[in-house]
Amino acid sequence: MSEQLIIRLGSRAGQTISWLVWASHSDEVIASGEIANAGELRQLAERVGARPVIALVPASDVVLKQVSLPTRPTRQILQALPYMLEDEQAEDIDQLWLALGELAQQEGQYQQQVAVVQRQRIDCWLSWLREAGFNVTRMLPDALLLPDNPLPACIELNEQWLIKQGPWQASAIDSSWWPQYLALAALPNIASYSP
């Protein structure tokens, strides 16, 4: 039996955390719910047992970028990657954590997917999960789980709209800003998974 626990974390410890247990052998959710905050993760661990964990983190806390590389990535180029992004970041690059996504070749140039997160924030998420006894196998921005669609895919969750406009292009917009975002983005159509 292959089951995974998927936990959708918040930006802060006091935010609601959603979770579900996914059974891949039957392609179904076998349990789901919400807990009030990160302090209740230990009780969740006791309730759902020791399953591999995929942690979903808020897309609002992750910057997804595609970086053009001069050649196929080598160890030296990947070590220089933070400094290639330094001018685009408002924070000190040493305070940020970078995760590499897929590498693609477009029009003869290499494109490296990179996720950028505050190091302090990722350390916080990992400490919540470790202290509760979870074994995290993956961390992903929540909006990337929306389906790949020809149209931008979106859903409203916890006072935010998550939108995925491409395989490595996702955002989170506060619900109060959603009408203005749609007007400014000038998207002709969207695939909404919320009313």
Question: What CATH number corresponds to the domain at position 163?
Answer: 3.30.420.370
| pLDDT at 130 (0 to 100) | 95
pLDDT of 138 over the 80 cut: yes
**Number of domains observed in the structure of the chain:** 3
Answer yes or no: do 53 and 137 share one domain: yes
Band of the pLDDT at 1, cuts 50, 70, 90? Answer: low
Structural domain containing residue 111: 62-120
Q: What is the pLDDT of residues 75-108, one digit of tens each?
A: 888 888 887 887 777 788 888 999 999 998 888 8
Answer yes or no: do 66 and 116 share one domain: yes
**β-pairing, 153-157 with 160-166?**
antiparallel
| pLDDT at 44 (0 to 100) | 95
Please tell me the distance from the alpha carbon of residue 170 to that of residue 104, in angstroms, as a whole number.
18
| pLDDT at 115 (0 to 100) | 94
Answer yes or no: do 188 and 138 share one domain: no
Answer yes or no: do 113 and 128 share one domain: no
Answer yes or no: do 158 and 169 share one domain: yes
Please tell me the distance from the alpha carbon of residue 195 to that of residue 16, in angstroms, as a whole number.
21
Answer yes or no: do 45 and 32 share one domain: yes
Band of the pLDDT at 178, cuts 50, 70, 90? Answer: very high
| pLDDT at 72 (0 to 100) | 85
Answer yes or no: do 67 and 140 share one domain: no
Give the residue with greater pLDDT, 1 vs 97.
Answer: 97
pLDDT of 50 over the 90 cut: no
Answer yes or no: do 37 and 109 share one domain: no
pLDDT of 55 over the 90 cut: yes
Show which of 77, 104, 120 is a domain's final residue. Answer: 120
| pLDDT at 11 (0 to 100) | 94
Answer yes or no: do 166 and 82 share one domain: no
Written as one string, the DSSP assignment of the chain is: --EEEEEE--SSTTS-EEEEEEETTTTEEEEEEEESSGGGHHHHHHHH-S-EEEEEE-GGG-EEEEEEESSS--HHHHHHHHHHHGGG-SS-GGGEEEEEEEEEEETTEEEEEEEEEEHHHHHHHHHHHHHHT-EEEEEEEGGGGSPP-SSPEEEEETTEEEEEEETTEEEEEEGGGHHHHHHHHT-S--EES--
Question: Cα 105 vs. chain centroid, distance in angstroms?
Answer: 23
Answer yes or no: do 12 and 54 share one domain: yes
CB atoms inside a 10 Å sphere around CB 133: 12
Burial label for 15, CB within 10 Å (0-12, 13-18, 19+), is: middle
Answer yes or no: do 139 and 160 share one domain: no
Answer yes or no: do 90 and 112 share one domain: yes
Return the top range by mean pLDDT from 66-70, 150-154, 184-188. 150-154
CATH number at residue 29: 3.30.420.380
